[in-house]
Structure 1
Amino acid sequence: MSSATAPNKPERGTGSGGSAWAAGGTMFAGVLMLVNGVLGILEGIAGIAKDDVYERIGDYVYKFNLTTWGWIHLVLGILVAITGYGILKGAEWGRAAGVALAAIAIVAQFLWLPYTPVWALISIAIGVFVIWALCNDRSDGAPS
């Protein structure tokens, strides 16, 4: 005798393909955002406190005063850290805000490239991973 069972919704981290990776990636994205936000805060404080901490490499089209860049990184770092904390706590707004702020952070790091080229490239890669992880985790029951 066989009994028919209704298909169950897959739980977080289960299912086919990369959903387990995406679910774990979402948690990791929250941690990365929290750490990247704290580092952005420190980067902003360094830019505000003393203008000679960073040296620009070559001439660049997107020029801002280093104090301005310091404030940009400080505010963006605070927002990214708060959003990372929200993602770790499972807040509803966390994923959408995380994708938006990661995209803004990618653009800011691209514009910041002449001042810290290696760190800017690492931050851009982190932002791309965060966007991927937050967009691919369908654990909230959204249609696949």
Structure 2
Amino acid sequence: MAQRVTGWVGWIWFAGIVMFIAGTWNFFYGLAAVLGPDKGYVAANGKLLILNINGWGWAHLIFGIVLAIVGLVVLSGAAWARILAILLVALNLITQFIWLPVQPWWSLLVIVLDFFVIWALIVHGDEAERV
């Protein structure tokens, strides 16, 4: 007996689109870091975060490309893409805790979005294969 697809599969579309947007955003952040001046630090709210801007830029550039591509493949319902997406989004969620002291509101927003993407991929992912 064939299982029925419900409207909850829309959460997979949500997850894929959010991943694509986040990947594109990360790509442009990385591109700006690679092409921009090598400042070496970020200061906000009285906190100072020292980092390698060039390395940070290349990491975001590559991570953004991978995240955007996997986000698009998630829309097809491929099981391997959902598993990889959960791992990538979990990594993104964890890294937001590094930026929490520097950009608290942005980091909290990304953490919440990542949580919903992971939830959608885990809870409603199998339904995407049947579309």
Q: Shorter-chain TM-score: what band?
A: 0.7 to 0.9
Asked whether 1:86 is paired with 2:84, we answer no
**Residues matched between the structures, number:** 125
- Give the letter aligned to residue 108 of structure 1: T
Instruction: Give the root-mean-square deviation of aligned CA atoms.
Output: 2.3
Query: Quick check: which one's strand share is greater?
Result: 2
Contact 2:22 2:67 in 1 (8 A): yes
Aligned ranges 1:1-144 → 2 under 5 Å: 8-13=1-6, 20-21=7-8, 23-50=9-36, 51-52=38-39, 55-57=42-44, 58-60=47-49, 63-137=50-124, 138-139=126-127, 140=129
- Deviation, 1:127, is 1.1
TM-score under structure 1 length normalisation: 0.74
The share of aligned pairs that are identical, in percent, is 35
Q: Which runs of 5+ in 1 are unaligned?
A: 1-7, 14-19
CA deviations on 1:65-104 (whole Å, 9 max, x unpaired) are 2222212211111111011011112223111011000001
Q: Greater Rg, structure 1 or structure 2?
A: 1
> Normalised by the size of structure 2, how large is the TM-score?
0.80
